[in-house]
Amino acid sequence: MSFDFVFEVTASDPHSAARCGRFHTPHGVIPTPVFAPVGTQATVKTLTPHELEALGADLILANTYHLYLRPGAEIIARLGGLHRFMGWEHPILTDSGGFQVFSLAHMRRLDDDGVTFRSHIDGSEQRLTPERVIEIEEQLGADIIMCLDECADPLDRHVLVQALRRTHLWAERCRAAQQRGDQALFGILQGGIFPDLRRESARFLTALDFPGYAIGGLAVGETKEQMYATLEVTTPELPADRPRYLMGVGTPEDILESVARGVDIFDCALPTRVARNGGLLTQGGRLNIRNAQYADDPLPIEADCTCYACQHFSRAYLRHLFQAGEILGLRLATLHNLHFMLRFMEQVRAAIAAGTFTQFKAEFLAGYQISDQDVRFARYAARRAERSEQRPPRRAQP
């Protein structure tokens, strides 16, 4: 079965590189720019797939590394693939697992052929090669799948040159290993903050003619200014008729700056992760619902928000749920934050289509207060948070 992964550009902003598009996949058309909620373990934490659908999510991300280790790609394949397994019949993107191997696994040993590591779950030794990663991603069956790449320190040129060589080698092998025709395999650019390396990566990968391109190795330690500058030199090197995916980004302000530089696809665990810590996204910035000032506040999180949490509950009740450690608090906060992000992306698309994106961006940023807690390097922080969330191995019960 072969699928034609067409990307139509439907509108372009006259004052920036921002654009609207439609990416066709076997499980539906993804309007871009799009934000993909993160469902690491085949569930966007706390939510049902039907809630995600009602929120208007067009694409979700699942993590190959986690699902490969638990429950295992073979089990998911036997149960009909990831869509059926988790009850989500809309587009899914799986990463390659490489980023998680570098950040979560123990004792990794890297060579040109692949990477050996120990599982963070049970300490077992595992081996991933480009071919094995594609095999796993084909078992999972997502609509968009990623090549295995090597993500290195974005400021260390010496290391980056090595990583780039290996990333390109692996991209070729992933391309060659692909057997299913109904999955869009994206190449991943590396090269840190160095324009010549990014250009080299773009040239090498576009020659392989992928249906889409990811920009990897950003938001992992460089400044925001370095990230934006890197996008500026990278996106012009990519073909206009293929979607561009900035991995692990981001916050509303990072999304606006990246859309302005021609990025189409985003994913980030931040909105759902900060929700579970009581951080709620609003037009004015982030609100911490645990603060004592909300103890008897009868107002909703945001007066004009149409999400389920804001339509039915007060800040006082939400604060109570968080103080009492109740799961409903995590659910309502997650619902609100994803509602915020998905409405925000709708506004971004509408503004581009109307030719008013630059104005929308300026007005949004003028009202949105970026707190110190707003993670400057979201993916780097996410990686650290994931590390600290790892649990000791749990044994299956008899």
Q: Catalytic residues, which ones?
A: 95, 267
Are the beta carbons of 132 and 125 closer than 8 angstroms? no
H or E element: which one contains 30? strand 28-32
Complex with its own copies: residue 223 or 371, whichever CB lies closer: 371
Complex with its own copies: residue 48 or 178, whichever CB lies closer: 48
Residue with tokens 């992306």: 345
Rounded (5°) CA angle 86-89-90: 115
Please report whether residue 328 would count as binding its own copies according to CB under 8 A: yes
Q: Nearest to residue 161, comparing CAs of 130, 127, 204?
A: 204
Residue with tokens 């931040």: 270
Please name every residue paired with 25 in a beta bridge, in sequence order, or none if there are none: 28
Task: Out of 6, 8, 56, 78, point to the residue binding its own copies (CB under 8 A).
Answer: 78
Task: Out of 49, 154, 248, 271, point to the residue binding its own copies (CB under 8 A).
Answer: 49
Name the 3-class secondary structure at 100.
Answer: helix
Strand pairing report for 265-267 and 285-288: unpaired
d(CA 151, CA 30) in angstroms, rounded, equals 27
Binding-site size for its own copies (CB under 8 A) equals 48
Please report whether residue 306 would count as binding its own copies according to CB under 8 A: no
Task: Out of 314, 358, 364, 385, point to the residue binding its own copies (CB under 8 A).
Answer: 314
Helical segments of 58-129, H only = 64-69, 73-78, 82-86, 98-103
Please report whether residue 366 would count as binding its own copies according to CB under 8 A: no
Complex with its own copies: residue 16 or 277, whichever CB lies closer: 277
Specify the stretch interacting with its own copies by CB under 8 A; choose among 180-188, 202-210, 292-300, 340-348: 292-300
**Nearest-approach distance from CB 82 to its own copies, in angstroms:** 10
Please report whether residue 387 would count as binding its own copies according to CB under 8 A: no
Q: List residues near its own copies by CB under 8 A.
A: 41-43, 45-50, 66, 70-71, 75, 78-80, 85-87, 288, 290-292, 295-296, 298, 308, 312-314, 316-317, 319-321, 323-328, 330-331, 391, 394, 396-398
